[in-house]
Amino acid sequence: MKFFIDTADIEEIRGLTATGMLDGVTTNPSLIAKSGRVFKEVIAEICEIVDGPVSAEVIALDAEGMITQGRDLAKIAKNVTVKVPLTWAGLEACSTLSKEGTLVNVTLCFSANQALLAAKAGATFISPFVGRLDDLNLDGMELIEDIRQIYDNYEFKTEILVASIRTANHVKEAALIGADVATLPPQVLRQLINHQLTDKGLEAFMADWKKTGQNL
Ligand code: E4P
């Protein structure tokens, strides 16, 4: 499973790159606003740090505008992945940009039929938002299972990029289902390592080592 982080915070990206766990980055207009940075500048900087796909979302709502913006964003770096919303205009833009060889991430997916449309439009990634479905007392992971089944039935190459992840458990469940990618808030990625028995065990080993009086 590939791990992307869902942030436009350069320091977070640098820190997590050093762990060797980062396969890419996703951003959205809300995360760009939170960063307080100029959109294209921050995307260019992320692309210099990370080798993998870096999602940058178009703002236009019509297909022509999305295609123009997508082409423009794709010029920033070869790993820019143009993010388009799951609308008919977004699918049209996805189809055109994908045929030109641009990586495309279709975002704001909340149903299996939407994911089917995105795969048919040639999306590189589909982003189903599990946390926002859970917030409505729906089952986000059930959607991931459905998309996995549909994509496997027809051997679609579109990668399932699980988005709107809120917990470490979301990551485990998505991995068990066989999702291709999870995009994680930085704090959730850091939480994945936590186990109290690891901490206790290490503490005991260190205390016993001290008793040996040896140095290494
Ligand atoms: C992914 O590409 C989205 O930007 C993100 O996962 C949305 O997460 P949220 O529902 O926590 O805003």
Measured from the Cα of 105, ligand 1's closest atom is 2
Containing structural domain, residue 130? 2-212
Give residue 129 CA to ligand 1 midpoint distance, Å. 7
Q: What is the pLDDT of residue 168?
A: 98
- The model's pLDDT over 91-144, given as tens digits with 9 standing for 90+, comes to 999 999 999 999 999 999 999 999 999 999 999 999 999 999 999 999 999 999
Q: What is the mean pLDDT of the chain?
A: 98
CA distance 168 to 138: 18
- The model's pLDDT over 4-51, given as tens digits with 9 standing for 90+, comes to 999 999 999 999 999 999 999 999 999 999 999 999 999 999 999 999
Is there a contact between 100 and 82 (Cβ–Cβ < 8 Å)? no
- The model's pLDDT over 185-197, given as tens digits with 9 standing for 90+, comes to 999 999 999 999 9
Quick one: DSSP state of residue 52?
A: S
CATH code of 118's domain: 3.20.20.70
Using DSSP's 3-state secondary structure scheme, residue 4 falls into strand
Q: What is the pLDDT of residue 80?
A: 98
Write the burial class of residue 10 (CB in 10 Å: 0-12 exposed, 13-18 middle, 19+ buried).
middle
Q: What is the pLDDT of residue 205?
A: 98
Nearest protein Cα to ligand 1, atom 9: 164
Measured from the Cα of 31, ligand 1's closest atom is 4
- Our count of domains for the chain comes to 1
Nearest protein Cα to ligand 1, atom 5: 164
CA distance 196 to 11: 27
Write the burial class of residue 71 (CB in 10 Å: 0-12 exposed, 13-18 middle, 19+ buried).
middle
Categorize the per-residue pLDDT at 1 as very low, low, confident or very high, splitting at 50, 70 and 90. Answer: very high
Give residue 107 CA to ligand 1 midpoint distance, Å. 9
